[in-house]
A and B are shown apart, each in its own frame.
Chain A
Amino acid sequence: MKFDRHARRKLLSHSVAVLTGLAVVAVLYPLVSIVYEAAVRGGGVLFQNGFLTSVPPNGCTVVSCSTVGIGPAIVGSFIMVGLASLLAVPVGVMAGIFASEYRTRGFGRAVSFTADVLSGVPSIIMGAFIYGYFVLYDPSSTYSGFTGSLALAAIMIPIVVRTTEEALRTVPNAMREAAIALGISKWKMTLRIVLVAALPGVATGVLLAVMRTAGDAAPLIFTALGSNLYPHDLFHQPMPALPLLIFNFALSNESNWREVAWGATLFLLLVILITNIISRMVIHRLSEKMTGNA
């Protein structure tokens, strides 16, 4: 009887270990296989001379360019993600501050609820709405880098709002009371004490939002549209982007176009990975320096 119970307990313990282990494999497998596949298929193309600066295959005639590449898409992505961040980060951080620090007024709750709902809206729908407002009904505008940036910003904002709110809420209330009791006004306390203490968390949220949008094609399909040329105009001409290029070229019948898509995939993965690692190191260093645990 005693042996039986022991055996059963052991069996149960082992099965849980095996099950959770399988779950880990299921989580890791896609990531590893994506990076591996992209490295194998895109590695050769990526390190070809001029790949990062040249225009894609149908952007030039056979005579005008000997090498093909993803230069315009890199520039377009950089411009649109950059502009979207400039628009979304201040708005998102401020709304996050409101949701956390002015919560008692009821409206603060509405802000975080709205952000929750918004972050659940599929990005393609976000893109379609921006298309509706800025491309379709405005006769003077067209597909452009600007509308693409707006769509990306619309996706970033709810992420930044929620992560900012959460980061601010981890700041102990004792810190706020200490500031209030010193006769420090609420806005100074919020910006210069609470927000500063929450900065590592806020930065992580911003990073998350930027990385998420850098690789998203759906919001750009209706807005930036994509192009194979270097962008010259932010407002009146379609703008290329890495995820759009991957989306378009991956479906192509031409094997060299598909190769370009693989190269772009690897490039995007590497940029996201490296940016992630570097910024996390900086954020970590920052929070250590702030709390003096260096």
Chain B
Amino acid sequence: MEGSKLTVEQLTTSSKLTVDRLTAYYGEKPAISDISLQFPDRQVTAIIGPSGCGKSTLIRCLNRLHETAYRTRVEGRVLLDNEDIYALDPVRVRRRIGMVFQKPNPFVTMSIYDNVSAALRFNGRPSRDETDRTVVRSLEQAALWEEVKDRIDAPAVSLSGGQQQRLCIARALAADPEVLLMDEPCSALDPIATAKIEELIGRLKHDYTVIIVTHNMQQAARVADYTAFLYLGKLIEFGPTEQVFERPTEKLTESYITGRFG
């Protein structure tokens, strides 16, 4: 823990999102406790750890989604550009911090176009022109435009699973967020669809701060610049991915990465 803190202070990139002594409860039971770390700006950070270690809970605290579930509670601070998101209006926070979920969850009653433009249409009164431009831009960013440009008004559920997930990424990007949270975005996808999303993540980091939860260590090694290892609700180690995977400072990290548990 001490070692990982030191690494954070050594970071040269500026921090976009800072987690400060965060503890999140389900009922009386803390799912993560006393976590502090800094997510560098426009870099990909992976959160890894065995099932039940609290990595999903942690990422759901970063856009204040955790507190929307029944009997949940959060202590500590999460700073977005030095502003505590827990002191801001959660609805506005979520417009700045987008999220992609484990299973593709397009709005089933809507077309591809309406899905991508949902944030725009529901949160304001955009002109048709503005909406069109945002939809095209977001679908291009999500590498889906070429595949759907001829059937933009088709139901979202007519797409394949991998396409649906890229649609959800486009939908999140259309809200013009600063941070993109991804909670195991590839766990419901086949290897080809997974490769497409991973390639996409590599491109997205030029414009967004990406935080990805994954149970797949190879994926973390492939896509992430920084990696955080969580175990039993605690942050065990955090640092540049290469260092965490090749020269971990903690014994637990080493055992997990070499497949001795988890």
- On whether the beta carbons of B108 and A178 are closer than 8 Å, the reply is no
Q: How far is the CA of A182 from the CA of B94 in the complex (A)?
A: 6
- On whether the beta carbons of A178 and B122 are closer than 8 Å, the reply is no
Contact check: which of B98, B106, B123, B155 meets A181 at CB < 8 Å?
B98
- On whether the beta carbons of A193 and B101 are closer than 8 Å, the reply is no
Q: Which residue of A lies closest to B99 (CB)?
A: A181
Q: How far is the CB of A182 from chain B (nearest CB, A)?
A: 4
Chain A residues within an 8 Å CB radius of B171:
178, 182
Q: Is B7 an interface residue (CB 8 A)?
A: no
- On whether the beta carbons of B68 and A182 are closer than 8 Å, the reply is no
- On whether the beta carbons of A177 and B107 are closer than 8 Å, the reply is no
- On whether the beta carbons of A181 and B122 are closer than 8 Å, the reply is no
Q: Is A180 an interface residue (CB 8 A)?
A: yes
- On whether the beta carbons of A175 and B122 are closer than 8 Å, the reply is no
Tell whether A290 pairs with B168 under 8 Å between CB atoms, given A174-B101, A178-B101: no
Q: Is A7 an interface residue (CB 8 A)?
A: no
Tell whether A292 pairs with B107 under 8 Å between CB atoms, given A181-B63, A183-B119, A192-B122: no
Interface membership of chain A positions 151-185, coded 1 if the CB is closer than 8 angstroms to chain B and 0 otherwise: 00000000000000000000010110111111111
Q: Is A111 an interface residue (CB 8 A)?
A: no
Chain A residues within an 8 Å CB radius of B192:
none
Q: How far is the CB of B27 from chain A (nearest CB, A)?
A: 13
Tell whether A181 pairs with B91 under 8 Å between CB atoms, given A104-B70, A174-B103, A175-B107: no
Interface membership of chain B positions 157-182, coded 1 if the CB is closer than 8 angstroms to chain A and 0 otherwise: 11000000000100110010000000
Interface membership of chain A positions 190-219, coded 1 if the CB is closer than 8 angstroms to chain B and 0 otherwise: 001100110000000000000000000000
How many B residues touch A, CB cutoff 8 Å?
33
Contact check: which of B91, B101, B109, B123 meets A197 at CB < 8 Å?
B109
Q: Is A188 an interface residue (CB 8 A)?
A: yes
B167-225 at interface with A (beta carbon < 8 Å): 168, 171-172, 175
- On whether the beta carbons of A180 and B68 are closer than 8 Å, the reply is yes
A-B pairs with beta carbons under 8 A, tally: 77
- On whether the beta carbons of A292 and B155 are closer than 8 Å, the reply is yes
Q: How far is the CA of A291 from the CA of B105 in the complex (A)?
A: 13
Q: Is B65 an interface residue (CB 8 A)?
A: yes
Q: How far is the CB of A78 from chain B (nearest CB, A)?
A: 33
Q: Is B1 an interface residue (CB 8 A)?
A: no
- On whether the beta carbons of B98 and A291 are closer than 8 Å, the reply is no
Tell whether A183 pairs with B108 under 8 Å between CB atoms, given A177-B101, A188-B122: no
Q: Is B92 an interface residue (CB 8 A)?
A: yes
Q: How far is the CB of B66 from chain A (nearest CB, A)?
A: 11
Q: How far is the CA of A174 from the CA of B103 in the complex (A)?
A: 8
**Max count, chain A CB within 10 A of own CB: residue among B70, B95, B109:** B109
Tell whether A196 pairs with B109 under 8 Å between CB atoms, given A177-B65, A292-B154: yes
Q: Which residue of B lies closest to A290 (CB)?
A: B109
Chain B residues within an 8 Å CB radius of A179:
107, 118, 122
**Max count, chain B CB within 10 A of own CB: residue among A104, A174, A182, A188:** A182
Q: How far is the CA of A104 from the CA of B73 in the complex (A)?
A: 14
A96-150 at interface with B (beta carbon < 8 Å): 104
Chain A residues within an 8 Å CB radius of B71:
104
- On whether the beta carbons of B105 and A174 are closer than 8 Å, the reply is yes
Q: How far is the CA of A178 from the CA of B106 in the complex (A)?
A: 8
Q: How far is the CB of A275 from chain B (nearest CB, A)?
A: 25
Q: How far is the CA of A177 from the CA of B96 in the complex (A)?
A: 16
Contact check: which of A175, A177, A192 meets B108 at CB < 8 Å?
A175
Chain B residues within an 8 Å CB radius of A174:
101, 103, 105
Chain B residues within an 8 Å CB radius of A180:
65, 68, 94
Q: How far is the CB of B202 from chain A (nearest CB, A)?
A: 23
**Max count, chain A CB within 10 A of own CB: residue among B93, B98, B122, B157:** B122
Could you list 17 A-B pairs, sorted by A, with CB under 8 Å?
A: A172-B105, A177-B101, A179-B118, A179-B122, A181-B63, A182-B98, A182-B171, A182-B175, A183-B123, A184-B119, A185-B91, A189-B122, A197-B109, A290-B108, A290-B109, A292-B156, A292-B157
